[in-house]
Amino acid sequence: MDDINMQKPEVPIIIIERDEQPQSKEIVTKVIAPSKKHKWLKRFLALVAFGCVMVAALAGYYLWNYYYNIGVSVSVTPEQNIEKLQRPAKQEVPEVVMTCDSILGVAMDFYAIHGLKASIEFEEPDTADTSVYLYCRSVDHKADNTYIGSLVVNGEERQSDTHRLGYMAMLGNNFVIGISRSEKVKDYVQEHGGSFFRQFILVSNGEIPGRFFLHGKVERRAIGRIDDQLYFIATRHKETLWDFADALREYGFIDAIYITGGADYVFYRDKDGIRHDIGDSADYPHTKWKCVVPWLVFRK
């Protein structure tokens, strides 16, 4: 049956009037058509309802596109990373194990992090501090000292900004990296006194983004994950961000986020506590942006 037959016809209102005078037996029947005003109101309300449905659908699509359609697949959800932060920490000997390799023409040094606790600190570690086994930069900042990307330090929110989709979260002796615009992990560590920062995506679920926002060839650094093992990675030469990310992907990193300050001096310690310099020690300490730079510090 077509649409015309499916529509219910409008039923006219029939009024029967009787002449109550005894001498008259005439019955008068009047047919009154439905009010034009009533039909217009029904059409207007239907139009309003349709408009509300369309607005809700568009708003839902925008939210989905903003939070989930980020151009790469995701290996670990925010909920899964929160669950990782809740686990008892793995008991390991505190150390940083350094290895080196070259892939796709990119020479890199890998620093596997074991048995350490991560934190964000605004004072650069002393080279004589034997509790520090590795440190590096974390979130970027502008000339006016405002931070680029969400930043939480010991439960205190310093910035809320989701433009950079990579993140690192640390709570107790656990720390994770992930890719998401969601702030669920940030909110969780903030509630529990942890720390959190955001950075650019390099690798997400074994994929690299379609474009990068940093260009040119400079020394590059990153925090990456293979299975549940986290690494600090540094190139030995100047590389484009695309070549660096592609080499990390080819090497087997599931996720990796960018770390700024590729040429900065930092250090690491092996299992015997011996300090090894990364970069030029003549650049230590970093006096520019003192007490502004949030350092990512790994301590035993």
pLDDT bracket for residue 3 (50, 70, 90): very low
Do 65 and 192 belong to one domain?
Answer: no
Contact status, residue 101 vs residue 91, Cβ threshold 8 Å:
no
Task: Tell me the mean pLDDT in the region 230-242.
Answer: 97
pLDDT bracket for residue 104 (50, 70, 90): very high
Residue 18 has pLDDT above 60, yes or no: no
Do 213 and 191 belong to one domain?
Answer: yes
| pLDDT reported for residue 47 | 74
Q: Is residue 228 part of a domain?
A: yes
Region of 252 please: left (phi>0), alpha (psi -120 to 50) or beta. Answer: left
| pLDDT reported for residue 59 | 47
pLDDT cut 70: percent of the chain above it = 80
Do 236 and 293 belong to one domain?
Answer: yes
Query: Distance between CA atoms of 103 and 120, rounded to whole angstroms?
Result: 31
Terminal-residue alpha carbon distance, the chain? 77
Q: Is residue 3 part of a domain?
A: no
Domain residues for 173? 78-299
Do 135 and 48 belong to one domain?
Answer: no
Residue 163 has pLDDT above 50, yes or no: yes
Residue 25 has pLDDT above 60, yes or no: no
Do 14 and 100 belong to one domain?
Answer: no
Q: Is residue 56 part of a domain?
A: yes
Q: Is residue 4 part of a domain?
A: no
pLDDT bracket for residue 232 (50, 70, 90): very high
| pLDDT reported for residue 34 | 58
Do 17 and 98 belong to one domain?
Answer: no
Task: Tell me the mean pLDDT in the region 170-183.
Answer: 97
Query: Distance between CA atoms of 132 and 295, rounded to whole angstroms?
Result: 12
Task: Tell me the mean pLDDT in the region 256-266.
Answer: 96
Mark which of 46, 69, 92 sits at the end of a domain.
69
| pLDDT reported for residue 37 | 63
pTM, entire model: 0.78
Residue of 30 and 197 predicted with greater confidence: 197
Residue 267 has pLDDT above 90, yes or no: yes
Residue 158 has pLDDT above 50, yes or no: yes
Q: Of 188, 210, 190, 215, whose CA–CA distance to 73 is shortest? A: 210
Contact status, residue 262 vs residue 217, Cβ threshold 8 Å:
no
Q: Token digits for 258?
A: 């960018």
How many distinct structural domains can be found in the chain?
2
Do 19 and 123 belong to one domain?
Answer: no
Do 218 and 270 belong to one domain?
Answer: yes
Do 30 and 117 belong to one domain?
Answer: no
Alpha carbon distances (Å) from 211 to 59, 122, 178, 215: 27, 31, 18, 10
Task: Tell me the mean pLDDT in the region 60-72.
Answer: 51
Give, to the nearest 10 degrees, the angle between helix 78-86 and helix 184-191.
30
Do 271 and 231 belong to one domain?
Answer: yes
- Alpha helices per DSSP H over the chain: 3-6, 36-67, 78-86, 184-191, 241-251
pLDDT bracket for residue 71 (50, 70, 90): confident
Q: Is residue 142 part of a domain?
A: yes
Q: Is residue 5 part of a domain?
A: no
| pLDDT reported for residue 39 | 72
Would you call the peptide bond into 78 cis, given omega within 30 degrees of 0 as the criterion? no
Mark which of 69, 86, 102 sits at the end of a domain.
69
Largest CA-CA distance found in the chain, in angstroms, rounded: 125
Least confident of 57-71, 123-137, 206-220: 57-71
Q: Of 108, 120, 115, 148, whose CA–CA distance to 253 is shortest? A: 108
Q: Of 225, 200, 214, whose CA–CA distance to 75 is shortest? A: 225
Do 62 and 106 belong to one domain?
Answer: no
Neighbours of 164 (CB within 10 A): 20
| pLDDT reported for residue 213 | 86
Q: Token digits for 123?
A: 């004072």
All residues at 6 or more sequence positions from 125 whose CB lies less than 8 Å from its CB, including other chains: 132, 135, 295, 297
Do 32 and 100 belong to one domain?
Answer: no
Q: Is residue 1 part of a domain?
A: no
Residue 161 has pLDDT above 90, yes or no: yes
Mark which of 69, 91, 110 sits at the end of a domain.
69
| pLDDT reported for residue 42 | 72
Q: What are phi and psi of 134, to 5 degrees?
A: -170, 145
